[in-house]
Every structure is written in C-alpha cells, then in structure tokens.
Structure 1
C-alpha cells in the first residue's frame, strides 16, 4: 500500500507515528520506541499527522541523513548515536487553534545495547505528554491538547476529547494492530516511570 500524505479533510485519527530509516527510505517501525534498541548510526523518525492507519500515515520530512544530523558527534565506547527526525506535521493536520512547529532533528546518545528509542526521544524532545492509557500525546509540548482523537471529514474533531483519549472513539484502531503506533503506548509508560523517579529524587 502506498504511503500518501494524510489529509485532515478526509477524516482519520490525529496521532504521532514512529518510523525507522534504512537504505535512504522510511518504513513504519516494527517495534515501539520503548522496546527498539537502536544501534550507533541509526535514524529514527516521529511524525504527527492524520491517518486511518499505518497504511496511509505520512512519513517524516526534512533532513534524515545520519552524517548530517550527527556531524561532529564522535563515536564513544558504551554509547550509541541516534539521529532523530521529529516532524510536527502540517497546518491541515494540526488541532484547531494550534500551529505546528518546524520539523527538527537532533543527535541523541543512548546507552549502547540497552538504551531505547524512547530514551533518545526523551533526551532531546521534552516535554512529552501522555494520557492515562500511556499513549504518547505530545512531543516537545505539541500538540497542547488532544490525544489520538478521531477527526471529522471537515478536519474537526469527531468525538469530544478531554486530552486523555479515554473513550473508545479517541484511540486510533491501529494502536492494537500496528506495532509502530501501538508500541508508542509503551513510550508513554516509560516516560511516566522516568518522571516519577525524578520526582522521588
């Protein structure tokens, strides 16, 4: 199935999707951020957009070359360099009243062999926001509200959403079937545990 740009006016779900890049092309992640352990030199992407499922999800845009993103970052024993591409999507995909920031890149370091994609994202793109079901709702504070809500054909929100995505209509159907999105749930859980540890400290 072709990956075409997601159109908010066609309806769908508004959420963050997770991607891996290899051989110059993006592919929907086969694992979630909390379980994927990247190797030194890997390129990972997150894209905010509106789509029905992984089949029509929009890919991250912008520079996605490891050498460019991590230029000047030397390899170190015990750590892995990971190039991150965070694409906040288009104005058409944005919740009402919000404007997406420009796409950004970052070179994150995680512990070699044990650090996860979720660790890399948390290190470079806080604040993260997640709901009571541990669904990742926002990266770097975007969007300010909403979480995996269904959009109407006119681009508005089809179901009322309290930011928790608690009702059945507020969770993308792909969460249960597509690993790349479904495991983003676990990223929220990991962030929640990390936040609690910091507060106790």
Structure 2
C-alpha cells in the first residue's frame, strides 16, 4: 500500500514539474542588453554583415562598401545603414573617383540613425563618400579619410561630431528592429553639383555687380567731359581780360 502511495506522489510531482516547464516556456521573452554606438559592417553581396572585428583590424579592398550606422544594437545583432543598394552602391558612390597606383577606392556609407537614439539632437543626413586611400589602409583609416573621428580607448565614439557626447553607452532591454525602411543618402555627385551651383551663383552675382557699375562710371566720365568742354571758353575769357 505504501509503495502504491509513493508511486502516486511521484506521478503527481512529475506532472507538476512538467506543467511548470510548459508555463515557463510560454512566459514573456526579454530583450537582450545592448549598447548605443557606431555599428560597423561590410557589404557582402546584397547584404550588410555585422563586422566581427574592429575597423583597425580589418583591411577593405578596392571596390568594397563599408557601412557605419549609429544606434542601439545587441552584442549578437548589429544594425546596418538603411541604404537602398540599388541607388547607393560602389558604382554610384565611387564611379567617378580615380585611384593612383598604390591606392584603392572604398565606398563608405554613414547613417546617423533615428530620433530614438538622438537624445534630442539634430540628426545629420545620411551620406555616402568615396574614400581614396593607400592599398594597405585599414577600416578606421579609410573612415578617417572622409569624416572626422572622436575615439576613446580604441572605440569609435563620434563621426563628424555626432553624437556630441557619450561613447558606447549601455542600454538595458535593447530592441533591434528586424526590418527598417530605407532612407535617402547624399551621394558625392549631388554634393559636387551643390558646390558647383553655389560657385556659379557667386560668379553670376559678381558679373551682375560689374554690369551695374559700368553705366554709373560712364555717366561720371560724361559729366567730367562736359565740365571740361565748358571750362575751355571760361579759361580763354579770363586770359583775354
């Protein structure tokens, strides 16, 4: 009889433990802890892959595309630039650039992230730059050729002053979006056209100013000539008298 009771108790305990296991598995999942920093990635085919080394330990090759994205990510999952790769790729970024012997061209995409990670700061427009650097330049040297860096203890803290403070700040229960909409990047050609347009406007303004001065100068010369003509008879009268 005692043996029968022990078997019943054993069966009940087993059932309770199984129920607890099921309930625990069905409970809510918790996000990982993460960091808010500049994520580094490499374009492999049509996909950005989260870098497994720091930029100082990786050497991009001619034709590579490097990605930098500011924002919150976990240790296991990084975030990549939100670029439409049909519009922003090596050809559209570096197609017009030339590299001398011993140099290479690397497209660098910089995505400054979203308002959620901006802490109220103004977010710069995403940009794509063509880095023309020595063939042995590593990822950090390549990046440094197109933007200003703020670093601390071998970590990239800011690109062109963004963010203004902080460096790899920890974030509890970090959430990483599985899919994000692409954003427009400023390409080198667009930046050059803007600069050229501004220069042309300056030249046109200067030409207009020159054209505006010429009639006034002519008028002054005419007045001087008329005064000179009128002065001749007066001078003669004074001499005769």
Category of TM-score, reference length = shorter chain: 0.5 to 0.7
Distance 1:154 1:61 in 2: 19
Q: State the TM-score, normalizing by the size of structure 1.
A: 0.64
Q: State the TM-score, normalizing by the size of structure 2.
A: 0.54
Following TM superposition, where does structure 1 have runs of at least 4 consecutive aligned residues deviating by more than 6 angstroms?
none
Aligned equivalent of 2:50 = 28
Within the candidate set 91, 94, 105, 1:67 is matched to 91
2:124 matches 1:124: no
Higher relative contact order (CA 8 A, sep 6+): 1
Deviation at 1:64, TM superposition (A): 3.7
In structure 2, the CA distance between the partners of 1:44 and 1:29, relative to structure 1 (3 Å rule), is same
Aligned equivalent of 1:100 = 123
Q: Secondary structure at the match of 2:117?
A: coil
In structure 2, the CA distance between the partners of 1:109 and 1:146, relative to structure 1 (3 Å rule), is same
Pairwise CA RMSD:
2.3
Deviation at 1:134, TM superposition (A): 2.7
Within the candidate set 63, 73, 77, 2:101 is matched to 77
Structure richer in helix, relative to its length: 2
Q: Secondary structure at the match of 1:69?
A: helix
In structure 2, the CA distance between the partners of 1:134 and 1:30, relative to structure 1 (3 Å rule), is closer
Distance 1:36 1:64 in 2: 22
Distance 2:64 2:95 in 1: 14
Deviation at 1:97, TM superposition (A): 2.7
Kindly provide the CA deviation profile for residues 125-147 of structure 1, in whole angstroms up to 9, marking residues without a partner as x: 11x1122x232110111000011
Contact 2:50 2:79 in 1 (8 A): no
Larger CA Rg, structure 1 vs 2: 2
Kindly provide the CA deviation profile for residues 115-163 of structure 1, in whole angstroms up to 9, marking residues without a partner as x: 111111111011x1122x23211011100001111235699xxxxxxxx
Q: Secondary structure at the match of 2:70?
A: strand
Contact 2:99 2:132 in 1 (8 A): no
Aligned residues between the structures: 142
Kindly provide the CA deviation profile for residues 31-73 of structure 1, in whole angstroms up to 9, marking residues without a partner as x: 3211211111000011101122232x22112254100000211
In structure 2, runs of 5+ residues without a counterpart are 1-30, 176-241
Aligned equivalent of 2:25 = none
Distance 1:85 1:123 in 2: 13
In structure 1, runs of 5+ residues without a counterpart are 1-8, 156-201
Aligned equivalent of 2:164 = 144
Contact 2:147 2:160 in 1 (8 A): yes
Contact 1:110 1:116 in 2 (8 A): no
Distance 2:160 2:112 in 1: 9
